[in-house]
């Protein structure tokens, strides 16, 4: 049993902040940001929350897939920036869209989160536990950035992407996923101190902190390795792959992955220029853009691949 994508949707907050606008409030420049990352602008939330963005993306995916909310048996939301510890973002989405029959769960694998959500949906489909499932990657990273750290805050944005999937025995899907907690300290956020009756620790919560160069090296090494692994597992040659939809963190990472895979850069659609890095949302947002631009037809073979905090990584081979 595999799964097939019935519909996609995405949502980006209205407010666009350009590199030049950032340069007015911090010591940076469009030249530095765009030459090192390919990012020109990002969307930043003013009125939206993770829940409102997730709901808007989900409604579009359901409409695109012709699926009614009550048909959903599961909602999986990948996020590291939900609005509350509880209720989960998935339960909030359930309430807003009226998916009364869904079992709802959030999962956090940072920028690999959407691939992990697909992995979970596939496992549920295989186990006969899931038939129609809604998957969402959503982040309001602007609320957890250290806006005084120019080396990190310029890289990220807010947004949501969603797909609705159906269990389908006729399709092939292969997934590779991995984690390396031993190297987790190169990308961290919001240390939660003990602060109880016995221990007092009022030190401020940490925001996103990253050793950019270490993450860069990890990404360039792990993406081709993981992609080659699923190509082998699927018995599919690179020539047969129409697109590689990679996590949109940095244009240079994607170009390096393309070189190492010996694949033309044209097979790697990108939107990092106008979305920046929206963590677990990058892959479904880009997939939605590609689909809505009419770039995919039934049967096309594509690969999705993500990497990020944890450290985590994951790739999926699927047939459109
Ligand atoms: O989802 C995964 C998320 N993580 C990532 O995607 C991170 C991957 N890593 C990267 O994308 C790159 O490592 C960065 C874009 C973060 C950094 O690029 P780099 O070429 O590795 O630059 P660097 O860290 O070596 O910094 C070079 C210089 C430093 O100045 P000095 O010490 O050479 O004088 C920084 O202080 O650039 C300076 N710098 C900046 N200058 C202007 C750092 N941030 C900025 C900035 N504007 N925003």
- Specify whether the CB–CB gap between 12 and 292 falls below 8 A: no
Residue with tokens 């829940």, as numbered in its chain? 51
Q: Answer with the residue of higher pLDDT: 171 or 30.
A: 30
Among residues of the chain, what percentage have pLDDT more than 70? 100
Reply yes or no on whether 275 is catalytic: no
Mean pLDDT confidence for 55-66: 98
Mean pLDDT confidence for 110-117: 97
235: buried, middle or exposed (CB in 10 Å: 19+, 13-18, 0-12)?
exposed
Does the beta carbon of 249 sit less than 6 angstroms from any atom of ligand 1?
yes
pLDDT for residue 193: 79
Instruction: Please determine, for residue 204, whether its predicted confidence score (pLDDT) is greater than 80.
Output: no
Reply yes or no on whether 189 is catalytic: no
Q: Which of 104, 111, 189, 275 is catalytic?
A: 111
Q: Which two tokens stand for residue 203?
A: 């030190």
Reply yes or no on whether 274 is catalytic: no
- CA-proximal residue: ligand 1, atom 16 (nearest): 212
Does the beta carbon of 277 sit less than 6 angstroms from any atom of ligand 1?
yes
pLDDT for residue 227: 97
Q: Which two tokens stand for residue 123?
A: 């496992």
Ligand 1 closest atom vs CA 213: 13
Give the Cα separation of 309 and 286 in Å (integer).
20
- Specify whether the CB–CB gap between 19 and 28 falls below 8 A: yes
Q: Which of 91, 247, 250, 271 is catalytic?
A: 247
pTM across the whole model: 0.96
Relative to beta strand 103-107, strand 41-43 is unpaired
Give the Cα separation of 244 and 239 in Å (integer).
12
Among residues of the chain, what percentage have pLDDT more than 90? 91
CA 316–ligand 1 middle distance (angstroms)? 29
46: buried, middle or exposed (CB in 10 Å: 19+, 13-18, 0-12)?
exposed
- CA-proximal residue: ligand 1, atom 39 (nearest): 151
- The CA angle 244-240-222, to the nearest 5 degrees, is 40
- Specify whether the CB–CB gap between 174 and 303 falls below 8 A: no
Mean pLDDT confidence for 246-261: 97
pLDDT in tens, 267-276: 999 999 999 9
DSSP state string for 252-294 = HHHHHHHHHHT--GGGS---HHHH-B-GGGHHHHHHHHHHHTT
Does the beta carbon of 211 sit less than 6 angstroms from any atom of ligand 1?
no
Ligand 1 closest atom vs CA 279: 1
Instruction: Please determine, for residue 69, whether its predicted confidence score (pLDDT) is greater than 80.
Output: yes
Mean pLDDT confidence for 253-263: 97
Query: Helix, strand or coil for residue 3?
Result: strand
Does the beta carbon of 215 sit less than 6 angstroms from any atom of ligand 1?
yes
Q: Answer with the residue of higher pLDDT: 200 or 138.
A: 138
Does the beta carbon of 41 sit less than 6 angstroms from any atom of ligand 1?
no
Q: Which two tokens stand for residue 208?
A: 């996103």
pLDDT for residue 203: 80
Q: Which two tokens stand for residue 184?
A: 């987790």
Instruction: Please determine, for residue 190, whether its predicted confidence score (pLDDT) is greater than 80.
Output: no
CA 15–ligand 1 middle distance (angstroms)? 25
Mean pLDDT confidence for 27-41: 98
- pLDDT band per the 50, 70, 90 thresholds, residue 259: very high
Instruction: State the Cα torsion 174-179-180-184 to the nearest 10°.
Output: 140
């Amino acid at each position: 049993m595999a799964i097939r994508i019935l519909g996609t949707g995405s949502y980006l907050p209205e407010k666009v902040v350009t590199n030049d606008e950032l340069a007015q409030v911090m010591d940076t420049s469009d030249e530095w940001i765009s030459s090192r990352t390919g990012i020109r602008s990002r969307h930043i939330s003013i009125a939206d929350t993770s829940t409102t963005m997730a709901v808007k993306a989900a409604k579009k995916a359901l409409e695109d897939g012709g699926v009614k909310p009550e048909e959903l048996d599961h909602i999986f939301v990948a996020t590291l920036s939900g609005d509350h510890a509880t209720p989960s973002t998935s339960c909030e989405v359930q309430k807003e869209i009226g998916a009364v029959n869904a079992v709802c769960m959030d999962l956090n694998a940072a920028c690999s989160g959407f691939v992990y959500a697909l992995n979970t949906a596939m496992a549920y489909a295989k186990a006969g536990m899931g038939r129609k499932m809604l998957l969402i990657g959503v982040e309001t990273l602007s609320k957890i950035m250290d806006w005084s750290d120019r080396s990190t805050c310029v890289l990220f944005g807010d947004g949501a992407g969603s797909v609705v999937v159906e269990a389908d025995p006729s399709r092939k899907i292969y997934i590779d996923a991995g984690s390396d907690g031993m190297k987790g300290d190169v990308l961290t956020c919001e240390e939660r101190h003990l602060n109880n009756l016995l221990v007092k620790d009022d030190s401020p919560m940490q925001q996103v902190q990253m050793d950019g160069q270490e993450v860069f090296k990890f990404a360039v090494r792990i993406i081709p390795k993981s992609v080659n692994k699923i190509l082998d597992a699927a018995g599919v040659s690179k020539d047969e792959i129409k697109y590689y939809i990679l996590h949109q963190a940095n244009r240079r990472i994607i170009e390096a992955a393309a070189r190492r895979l010996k694949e033309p850069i044209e097979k790697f659609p990108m939107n990092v220029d106008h979305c920046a890095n929206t963590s677990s949302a990058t892959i479904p947002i880009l997939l939605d853009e590609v689909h809505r631009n009419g770039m995919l037809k039934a049967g096309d073979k594509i690969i999705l691949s993500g990497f990020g905090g944890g450290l985590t990584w994951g790739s999926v081979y699927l047939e459109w």
